[in-house]
Amino acid sequence: MNSDLPKVLHKVAAAPLLHHAMTAGRSLDPALTVVVTGHGAELVEKSARAFDPDVATVRQSEQKGTAHAVLQAAPPLEGFVGDALVLYGDTPFIQSETLEKMLAARRRHAVVVLGFHAADPGRYGRLVAEGEALHRIVEFKDALPEERAITLCNSGVVCADAATLMRLCAAVGNANASGEYYLTDIVELARSEGLSAGLVLCDESETLGVNTRTELARAEALFQARARAEALENGTTLTAPETVFFALDTHIGRDAIIGPAVIFGPGVTIESGAEVKGFCHLEGCHISRGADVGPFARLRPGAELAEDVHVGNFVEIKNSILGEGVKVGHLTYLGDADVGEGTNIGAGTVTCNYDGVMKHRTTIGKRVFIGSDTMLVAPVTVGDDALTGSGSVITENVPAEAVALGRARQVNKAGLAIKLFERLKAIKAAKNKG
């Protein structure tokens, strides 16, 4: 990857590759998830815990191969009774349905391997199989010419009883071209014990591994194509599908409308019937039924829009709750605010929420009219049915039903404009002459 960042922390769909693999595993509702880390262990462990606080992490201090990596999970799995699945942090697209098939095949076989037919087998390990029965896996470096001609390839994903998996991995040797302990060797070891090994097939696209920036870009394109197709199939309108970019955890209800060039960051939920117009950026927010957003709006983490809220162009909302029917038409920043139902926020309004050290909250009641260009200096409260005059700087609480004016008195100087412009023009001419 030519990067200081561990490979599995590079992102596809606004989420680390690692989280994609953990999402696939989570779909099975596992009793335990173990993440084996190596390069950049501390960063990878932090990311894994951010996804699942209950995850167990172990380190492979020396990279001696895949069987050796799996063996590092033995301590947290000690005494565990049940099946174990081995997934890979740089292989983001294994589907939950595929993993379910592997678990079903485990009822027939001691070891189950996920394979695929490759259009270009390249340097993949080859699967020597007869029907569902898997005889052995041959790494490309160790394969004979006739074995390299096989197009049935190994994904690396394995399922077995946890105790059996650890026992077989412990028996793996490293007498091969790389001097590594291959997880693939457990197939022949199992068969030598009279245990059966089985094969489950998936589409080649599920097994896409990411090892380069080019493959990362290809993975992003593949994810987005799938996400767009799924959104359309589920009843979401995408007016320009190829320009919309989803995150791994984006949730959109039926009959929602998404305009062109909308970007989804993590943690976005849009309810049925809502609309997001073009060129919006959304992250960590919730948009309720009947609300409309944009164009050119930004919703940041903690933005909660109730039903029938209107957020217009060049509006930014952060860590704020907007009640039912609130209207924020344009050119406004609402941060750390609570806004009551039916309130109208005029153009150019800003909640001044940060004092340079701490954030403070603004509370605006129901049916309030905030005049254009109002600065609300938090912490401050505006009561129900109140009004602020345009251009006001509000530094004190406004009682319910009151009108608040917080601006300097206007003074008109007769004839001064002409004199001032003449003076400024003279100054400019003198500078140009010099």
Q: Give the residue numbers annotated as catalytic, written as ranges.
A: 330
* Cβ 27 vs Cβ 87: under 8 Å: no
Enumerate residues 6+ apart whose C-beta is below 8 A from 413. Answer: none
CA distance 274 to 306: 10
129 closest CA partner among 115, 118, 149, 109: 115
What does the block give as tokens for 156? 């690396």
Q: Is the peptide bond before 76 cis (omega within 30 degrees of 0)?
A: no
Between the alpha carbon of residue 261 and those of residues 120, 240, 241, the distances in Å are 34, 8, 9
Smallest CA-to-CA distance from 203 within 129, 123, 117 is with 117
Classify each residue of 397-419 as buried b or exposed e, where b means 16 or more C-beta atoms within 10 Å of its C-beta. Answer: ebeeeeebebeeeeeeeeeeeee
As given in the structure block, the two tokens for residue 181 are 């302990």
Judge if the upstream peptide bond of residue 379 is cis by omega within 30 degrees of 0: yes
Q: Give the length of the chain.
A: 434
Whole-number Å distance between alpha carbons of 383 and 244: 40
Cβ-based burial of 396 (10 A; exposed 0-12, middle 13-18, buried ≥19) = exposed
Handedness of CA 60, 64, 70, 71 (dihedral sign): negative
Q: Is 127 exposed, middle or buried (CB count within 10 Å of its CB: 0-12, 13-18, 19+)? A: buried
DSSP line for 66-127: HHHHHHTTHHHHTT--SEEEE--TT-TT--HHHHHHHHHHTTT-SEEEEEEE-SS-TTPPEE
Do 123 and 160 form a contact (C-beta atoms < 8 A)?
A: no
Tokens at 348, concatenated:
């150019």
Instruction: For strands 298-299 and 281-282, give the pairing.
Output: parallel
Distance in angstroms (rounded) separating the CA atoms of residues 326 and 210: 45
What gap in Å lies between CA 70 and CA 35, rounded to an integer?
10
Residue 354 in tokens: 């940060």
